[in-house]
Amino acid sequence: MIRNLALACVLTLAPAALVPLAQQAPREAPAPAVKDFARYDELFDDFDARRKVLITRFERLQQAQRVDPEELRKAEGELVALDREYAAALRRYIDTHAGAKDLMPARFELCVTLSRLEDRLADAVAAADEFLKNHPDAELVPDARFVRAQTLFRMPGREDDALAALELFIEKHPERQDADAARMMRVRALLFLNRVADARRSLEALVKSDRVRNDKEARAFLQAQLDALDWIGRDLPAFDLKAADGKPATSGELAGKPALVFVWDTTSSACLGELPFVQELHRRHADRINVIGISVNESQAAFEQWLVRNAESVKFRNAWVDREAENTLVRKLAVSVIPFNILVDANGKVWRYDVRSDDLLRYAERLAK
């Protein structure tokens, strides 16, 4: 059996309170010191032991009753630093052991490890290409294709390449467990390319597929995705609210500029996890995209007091609505869960409905143009 550190010990996602590295500008990282290894299994064992220690510590921090964001950031940084060191050691091993019998797992480890480093995604794609060229008949070929497609999908500007890679993976490996993940990424890639009709057809085909027909939960999820597409192109309902700063907040103010409507509640941990994405969008695009937060907190006074206490965390405008009242903007938009993001174009039309946090900044870049 091929031991695989990269797949067995996948990097835990960034804490909800932090803006994920995937949506931050890449920073120049110092080159890690590279240790020499005589065999791949020695290299694997060294990093496997070190990584398990760091992951255990990171998971304990995440599960603590009181999470310290700085401690989490530090622990995440240690995992990223170890990945950099591991990638460098793998690259050195591959380059200095031409003809070694264990280069296949080393090359695969390299492409997966690089795919976890947000500023090395192009290198991850190149490493996957290297693996596929050198080991076309290896049992890990489907995994390498999936890593390549998934990595391209995460790279803004490479949507066409990602779509082609995803379609190749689905064609070659339609019955694999990760084929459905590839199918959903394909739908999202089509939406990134603004091919809404194609995305709809892909979702409809999934709903009708044999594996979904008898899966009530999967069918409901896919139907919700289809329902979200129905909102695209509709007029944003008119609203006339009073913002937390005491000034009017109306739909008319959004006219002529794209907008984000963010429905949230300060008592919801999920909403607080979404907040950094929204704040980052506002920071990057305040002059090109309007941002309006719609609070559904149970108490207006408590919400406004929270804003005062957290003024540095929330720089965009907010208004409160009574979540029990009829005919509010939240009701008109059929918002049933929070947090909830709706992107609106400059003409007041819904551009994307129920936007995932990890898609938000990518869509914003396109909408801002």
Confidence (pLDDT) at 152:
98
Distance of CA 151 to the CA centre of its chain: 12
DSSP state of 335: -
> What are the phi and psi torsion angles at 167 (to 5°)?
-65, -35
Confidence (pLDDT) at 30:
58
Contacts of 24 (CB under 8 A, 6+ apart): 118
Confidence (pLDDT) at 33:
67
Residues in the chain, overall count: 369
Cis omega (within 30 of 0) for bond into 339: yes
Distance of CA 98 to the CA centre of its chain: 37
Q: What single string gives the DSSP state of each residue in 103-160?
A: HHHHHHHHHHHHHTSGGGHHHHHHHHHHHHHH-TT-TTHHHHHHHHHHHHHTSTT-HH
Confidence (pLDDT) at 211:
81
Confidence (pLDDT) at 310:
93
Cβ atoms of residues 236 and 349 within 8 Å? yes
Cut 0.75: pTM above it = yes
Cα–Cα distance between 183 and 201 in angstroms, integer?
12
The domain limits of the chain are 5-155, 240-368
Confidence (pLDDT) at 90:
97
Cβ atoms of residues 290 and 321 within 8 Å? no
**Per-block mean pLDDT, blocks of 10 residues, the chain (369 long):** 40 34 46 81 96 94 82 93 96 95 97 97 98 97 98 96 98 94 96 96 91 87 94 96 92 92 95 95 96 96 95 93 92 95 96 95 92
Fold entry, domain 240-368: Glutaredoxin (3.40.30)
Report how many helices (DSSP H) and strands (DSSP E) the chain contains, helices first: 15, 7
Cα–Cα distance between 191 and 356 in angstroms, integer?
12
Q: What single string gives the DSSP state of each residue in 264-312?
A: E-TT-HHHHHHHHHHHHHHHHHTTT-EEEEEE--S-HHHHHHHHHHTTT
Residue 223: HSE in the Cβ half-sphere, 13 Å Cα cutoff? 9
Contacts of 122 (CB under 8 A, 6+ apart): 155
Angle between helices 357-368 and 179-192 (to 10 degrees): 20
Nearest one of 39, 34, 36 to 3, comparing CA atoms? 39
What's the CATH number for 5-155?
1.25.40
Confidence (pLDDT) at 29:
52
Cβ atoms of residues 115 and 150 within 8 Å? yes
Cα–Cα distance between 367 and 350 in angstroms, integer?
12
Confidence (pLDDT) at 23:
45
Residue 28: HSE in the Cβ half-sphere, 13 Å Cα cutoff? 0
Look at strands 248-250 and 259-264 and give their pairing: unpaired
Specify which residues 290 forms β-bridges with: 259
Specify which residues 344 forms β-bridges with: 259, 350
